Structure formats: C-alpha cells, structure tokens
Amino acid sequence: MQIRFQSSPKEVSGMTTAELRENFLVPELMKADTLTLVYSHYDRVIIGGVQPLQQSVPLHNEAELRADYFLERRELGIINVGGAGVVTADGVKYELDKLDTVYLGKGTREVSFASVSAVNPANFFLMSTTAHHSYHNRKMTKEEAAPVNLGEKATANERTIYKYIHQDGIQSCQLVMGLTVLKEGSVWNSVPPHTHTRRMEVYFYFDVPAQHRIFHLMGEPTETRHIVMANHEAVISPPWSVHCGPGTTNYGFIWAMAGENYTFTDMDPVAIADMK
C-alpha cells in the first residue's frame, strides 16, 4: 500500500507537472488479479481498485493499519464500473452489475472480489474511510440511487448524478460516494466549480476511450493547475482545491468524499469568471 502525505497550497503552487502527478494522481488502479491501494493522509482515506480475472482477490490487511483486519476500524464503499462481479463479505455475496455499489461497515472481517466472466471482467473502485460506528452492509443499484439530471447542452455539461452513500441514502460514518455520467456532447464536470474545506474528495474517471483524455483542474481557485488523466485513473483533491475540468469526449466519474461534514450539498461555489 502506497502512502501519500498532504501538501499545502503554497507547495502545490510551485509544483512541476511531474510533482503534481506524483502527489495527486493515482494511475493504473485496475490491474488484473491485483488489489492496488493508496493511503492518503487527507482525512486518512484509502483509495483502491481491482480487476479480478482468473481468481477471487481478497481484501488483505495492511501492516500500516495496525489492525487485526482491514475493516476493524474502517468502512468501505465499492462501485463496479466493469462487467458483472461479485463482492463477498463475511460469507454474503453481493452481485454487482455495472454502476452498482455496495457499502461494507466497520467490523466486516473477510472481503473478496470476483468477476462473473474473465472475458468481461468487473472493475471495482474502492474508497475506505475511518469509522467510529458499525452501519449495516448494503447494496444499491444505480436505478435505486434516484438519478438526477443536471446541466445544459449549451454549456456542454449535461449529466446524470447518482448518489449512493450519503445522508439520505446508504448510511455511513463519514463516507459520501456516488458517480456522474456525462451525456454525449458534454465534456465539462463539476460546473460551477467549488471547494469544501470540511472534506477532501477523490475523483475516479471511467469509460474514457484509450485515445481520449481528461484535463482535471485542481489547486486554489485563483492558482489553478491541471493534471491530464486517462481511463481508470483517480486523482486526490485536497479540501482547499477546486476539482473540475473538461474531457476530449464524454465520460463518467466516481466522486468519493471524507471529512468533517457529511452533507452532500456543503460546497463553497466559485464563479467561473473568478477562476485563474
């Protein structure tokens, strides 16, 4: 498990492209039969991904956690962005089609990931946060997530938002999680841009064709930087940073948040005209 430490706004303003990518980009999350984990000191989240092909892949414990098992003091959100898959938690099997999710609460001891078919494997994105209370394990399909349509064709940001783990959905300690799918012809995400200093956020981009890229904007609103991203890559967004940007085609992205405030709508908007 790779460890990432925090960076201040002043540090980030002077970073090179390579330094930005080293600190904030999480590449190659979906590796065949391999669980990839990155521990970020922003709210102590763990970002992960796995593409099970020929075998079931366990959620192994990590020595850095100083725990008896991975979810001893943590909770976990899992979203499948690939073919049909199965998450098994303490003997209970959760079948996940594309864009379905499952939440696993504190105290869940044994977790594993599998694909129904190696020809069309599942791709599981993981986000884990610290937890002080045990909430029930629960699956939710994208149809149950009460999708909301936002944006306009004229501003190239028509999109559908699916909320899974939040105050009015699956209950958790501090994890907030869902996804957004942009419609054909729309390329801009998270407009209007915003920050939320009470929680950090992770974006994971999916359904990005191999020849296309996302230009993810980050940094303070008046001191922006960008990271060019490909399919199945994640980016860590500090609480003080904006997190928006365009792609060269439409795409989808998972958003996962952790921190002090559990309210999805807690955002500090930034006028586009004030961005620099």
Q: Indicate the Cα dihedral angle 92, 95, 98, 104, nearest 10°.
A: -10
pLDDT at residue 265 tops 90:
no
Tell me whether residue 132 is exposed, middle or buried, using C-beta atoms within 10 angstroms of its C-beta: 0 to 12, 13 to 18, 19 or more.
exposed
Which CATH entry fits the domain spanning 2-274: 3.30.300.20, 3.30.70.1230, 1.10.10.1100, 2.60.120.10?
2.60.120.10
Query: φ, ψ for residue 133 (rounded to 5)?
Result: -145, 150
Encode pLDDT of 158-176 as tens digits. Answer: 999 999 999 999 999 999 9
Quick count: other Cβ atoms within 10 Å of Cβ 263? Answer: 12
Quick count: other Cβ atoms within 10 Å of Cβ 94? Answer: 19
> Can you give the residue ranges of every domain in the chain?
2-274
- Only one residue has tokens 């989240």, namely 45
Mean pLDDT of 201-209: 98
268-273 CB contacts, 8 Å cutoff, 24+ apart:
268/194, 268/195, 268/196, 268/197, 269/192, 269/193, 269/194, 270/192, 270/193, 270/194, 270/195, 270/221, 270/242, 271/192, 272/191, 272/192, 272/193
| Rg (alpha carbons) of the chain, rounded to whole number | 18
Task: Check the CA dihedral 197-228-155-158 and report its sign.
Answer: negative
**Cα gap 161→252, rounded to integer Å:** 10
Question: What's the predicted TM-score (pTM) here?
Answer: 0.96
pLDDT at residue 257 tops 90:
yes
Q: What band does 62 get if pLDDT is binned at 50, 70 and 90?
A: very high
pLDDT at residue 266 tops 90:
no
pLDDT of residue 89: 98
Mean pLDDT of 83-97: 98
pLDDT at residue 260 tops 90:
no
Residues contacting 203, CB < 8 A, separation 6+? 216, 234, 235, 237, 243, 253, 254, 255
pLDDT at residue 78 tops 90:
yes
**Cα gap 219→242, rounded to integer Å:** 6
pLDDT at residue 192 tops 90:
no
pLDDT at residue 182 tops 90:
yes
Mean pLDDT of 55-71: 96
User: Is pLDDT larger for residue 54 or for residue 139?
Assistant: 139
pLDDT of residue 250: 98
Q: What band does 212 get if pLDDT is binned at 50, 70 and 90?
A: very high
Mean pLDDT of 211-215: 98
Mean pLDDT of 94-119: 97
Encode pLDDT of 125-158 as tens digits. Answer: 999 999 999 999 999 999 999 899 999 999 999 9
pLDDT of residue 191: 86
Segments of 97-144 assigned E as strands: 101-104, 111-115, 124-130, 138-140
Query: φ, ψ for residue 222 (rounded to 5)?
Result: -100, 15
